[in-house]
Amino acid sequence: MPEINWTKRALKQLYGLPQKEGNAIEDAVEALAKWPDIPI
């Protein structure tokens, strides 16, 4: 499942950011994940 690989890479990048920015991005990603699927 490509999503899982993407998530692992994204988390590695998040942990490289300062804590405040990392948390803000993580919160935004979690909020977006709750949205219904939107066709691109």
| Average pLDDT score over residue span 16-33 | 79
Specify the pLDDT at position 6.
66
Query: What's the total number of domains in the chain?
Result: 1
Residue 5 structural domain: 1-34
Model confidence at 1, pLDDT cuts 50, 70, 90, reads very low
Asked, for residue 14, whether it belongs to a domain, the answer is yes
* Cα torsion through 2, 8, 6, 11, rounded to 10: 160
Q: What is the pLDDT of residues 7-24, one digit of tens each?
A: 777 777 766 767 777 688
Residue 40: inside a domain, yes or no?
A: no
Q: What is the pTM of this model?
A: 0.39
Buried b (16+ CB within 10 A) or exposed e, 1-40: eeeeeeeeeeeeebeeeeeeeeeeeeeeeeeeeeeeeeee
First to last CA, the chain: 19
Is 17 part of any domain?
yes
Check whether 2 has a pLDDT greater than 60.
no
Q: Which residue has the tokens 């300062």?
A: 18
